[in-house]
């Protein structure tokens, strides 16, 4: 990192106000203070604006019945040294999904001229020195630096969020174990990463543009970071830790409230292959088989007759709805 370079976090939230406050508090405690935070509220319906007001992140409520995104800048404090941190609160007029939220945040942060953009969902909680360690390990040749992602509840490394891609364009974990293996001294090159703490250089946005808002959810992070990888280098810094407070499935049982997302998983996988490996027939066959298998699982194990065709429909729509590319 060059002296005087600025860093802006981009946080996307939807209906998780308590996790959001924990995320914001963690950002305020960074030993390398942030210059700003772009908070993208995807039209939450759980009282997120009131919670932000009660916790003094904003000092006025959002107008009702928005017809377009609403933005206002507030000032909060870094809790380590008391310096001001700009909070750009953006209240969306509709839920645009994680992909739409990160598109909005990256675009606005980029246009404000911040040198680094630190992306995360509201269920992320970076350790106090996470940003400092990411910046220490950045250099001129690196376009994106990512922290080690650890599940807060289990203490296990979420190795599947740090990715390489195999012959089938399938995500393959870079790390070999989810147990408490010491990765702290490792710096590894990767090809893609979840939107749980990637620190992206402004130059990367110069080269690849913004996240694809049309993907809505699932796969938008792989798509965007892979685009960056194709233009430069992405490294994983094992000493930089970010805790992830997502839900854990038991015995690989699918969560009923998550089943609708499998439509987007398979649709976006086809779009991904069409974008970067158009003639990879093995990849199409692999995901067609996977979509059929997932549909059977949803029907038989989860007994969801109204949702079991979603994976297959998503796979087909990946070819038909080419406007998402």
- 210 falls within a domain: yes
- 250 falls within a domain: no
User: Looking at residue 255, what is its pLDDT?
Assistant: 66
106 and 188 part of one domain: yes
- 249 falls within a domain: no
185 and 305 part of one domain: no
User: Looking at residue 251, what is its pLDDT?
Assistant: 42
User: Looking at residue 301, what is its pLDDT?
Assistant: 78
- Contact status, residue 115 vs residue 206, Cβ threshold 8 Å: no
User: Looking at residue 252, what is its pLDDT?
Assistant: 46
- 1 falls within a domain: no
Residue 250: pLDDT over 90: no
Average pLDDT score over residue span 181-208: 93
291 and 198 part of one domain: no
Residue 185: pLDDT over 90: no
In terms of DSSP bridges, do strands 7-13 and 36-41 run parallel, antiparallel, or are they unpaired? Answer: parallel
32 and 80 part of one domain: yes
User: Looking at residue 180, what is its pLDDT?
Assistant: 62
33 and 171 part of one domain: yes
216 and 158 part of one domain: yes
212's CB contacts (< 8 A; 6+ apart) are 99, 103, 220, 223, 224, 324, 325
Three-class secondary structure assignment of the chain: CCCCCCEEEEEEECCCHHHHHHHHHHHHCCCCCCCEEEEEECCCCCCHHHHHHHCCCCCCCCCCCCCCCEEEEEEEECCCCCCEEEEEEEECCCCCHHHHHHHHHHHHHHHCCCCEEEEEECCEEECCCHHHHHHHCCCCCEEEEEEEEEECCCCCECHHHEEEECCCCCEEECCCCCCCCCCCCCEEEECEECCEEEEEEHHHHHHHCCCCHHHCCCCHHHHHHHHHHCCCEEEEEEEEEEEECCCCCCCCCCCHHHCCHHHHHHHHHHHHHHHHCCCCHHHHHHHHHHHHHHHHHHHHCCCCCCCCCHHHHHHHHHHHCHHHC
124 and 36 part of one domain: yes
- What is the residue range of 320's domain? 256-324
44 and 145 part of one domain: yes
User: Looking at residue 248, what is its pLDDT?
Assistant: 60
- 264 falls within a domain: yes
Domain closes at, from 244, 270, 285: 244
Domain closes at, from 175, 209, 244: 244
User: Looking at residue 3, what is its pLDDT?
Assistant: 73
291 and 226 part of one domain: no
- 152 falls within a domain: yes
Q: How confident is the model at residue 159 (pLDDT cuts 50, 70, 90)?
A: very high
The tally of domains found in the chain comes to 2
Per residue in 265-318, pLDDT (tens digit) is 999 999 999 999 999 999 999 999 999 999 999 988 767 778 899 999 999 999
Residue from 245, 147, 238 nearest 200 by CA: 147
User: Looking at residue 254, what is its pLDDT?
Assistant: 56
- 313 falls within a domain: yes
User: Looking at residue 310, what is its pLDDT?
Assistant: 95
- 120 falls within a domain: yes
Q: How confident is the model at residue 322 (pLDDT cuts 50, 70, 90)?
A: low
User: Looking at residue 323, what is its pLDDT?
Assistant: 66
Average pLDDT score over residue span 97-114: 98
User: Looking at residue 6, what is its pLDDT?
Assistant: 97
163 and 265 part of one domain: no
User: Looking at residue 325, what is its pLDDT?
Assistant: 67
In terms of DSSP bridges, do strands 187-190 and 70-77 run parallel, antiparallel, or are they unpaired? Answer: unpaired
CA 191, chain centre distance (Å):
15
Q: In what order do the strands lie in the sheet with 192-193?
A: 171-173, 162-165, 192-193
128 and 69 part of one domain: yes
Domain of residue 174, CATH code: 3.90.550.10
Q: Give me the chain's average pLDDT, please.
A: 93
Per residue in 18-62, pLDDT (tens digit) is 999 999 999 999 999 999 999 999 999 999 999 999 999 999 999
* Reported pTM: 0.94
275 and 147 part of one domain: no
Residue 219: pLDDT over 60: yes
Per residue in 50-94, pLDDT (tens digit) is 999 999 999 999 998 899 999 999 999 999 999 999 999 999 999
């Amino acid at each position: 990192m060059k002296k005087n370079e600025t860093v802006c976090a981009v946080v996307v939230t939807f209906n998780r106000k308590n996790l959001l406050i924990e995320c914001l508090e963690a950002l305020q405690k960074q030993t390398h203070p942030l210059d700003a935070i772009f908070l993208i509220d995807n039209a939450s319906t759980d009282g997120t604006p009131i919670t932000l007001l009660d916790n003094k992140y904003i000092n006025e409520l959002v107008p009702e019945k928005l017809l377009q995104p609403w933005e206002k800048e507030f000032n909060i404090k870094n809790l380590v040294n008391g310096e001001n941190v700009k909070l750009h609160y953006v209240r969306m007029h509709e839920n645009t999904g994680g992909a739409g939220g990160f598109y909005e945040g990256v675009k606005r942060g980029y246009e404000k001229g911040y040198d680094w953009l630190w992306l995360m969902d509201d269920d992320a909680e970076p350790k106090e020195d996470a940003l400092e360690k990411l910046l220490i390990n950045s250099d001129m040749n690196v376009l994106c630096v990512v922290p080690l992602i650890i599940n807060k509840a289990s203490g296990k490394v979420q190795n599947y969020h740090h990715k390489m891609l195999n012959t089938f364009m399938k995500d393959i974990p870079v790390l070999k174990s989810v147990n408490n293996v010491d990765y702290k001294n490792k710096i590894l090159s990767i090809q893609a990463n979840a939107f749980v703490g990637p620190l992206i250089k402004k130059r990367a946005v110069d080269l690849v543009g913004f996240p694809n808002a049309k993907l809505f959810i699932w796969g938008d992070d792989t798509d965007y970071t892979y685009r960056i990888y194709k233009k430069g280098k992405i490294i994983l810094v094992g000493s930089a830790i970010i805790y992830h407070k997502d839900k854990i499935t038991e015995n690989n049982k699918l969560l009923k409230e998550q089943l609708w997302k499998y439509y987007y998983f398979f649709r976006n996988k086809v779009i991904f292959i069409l974008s970067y490996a158009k003639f990879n027939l093995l990849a199409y066959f692999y995901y067609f088989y996977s979509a059929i298998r997932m549909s059977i699982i949803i029907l038989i194990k989860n007994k969801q007759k109204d949702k079991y065709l979603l994976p297959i429909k998503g796979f087909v729509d990946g070819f038909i709805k080419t406007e998402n590319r």
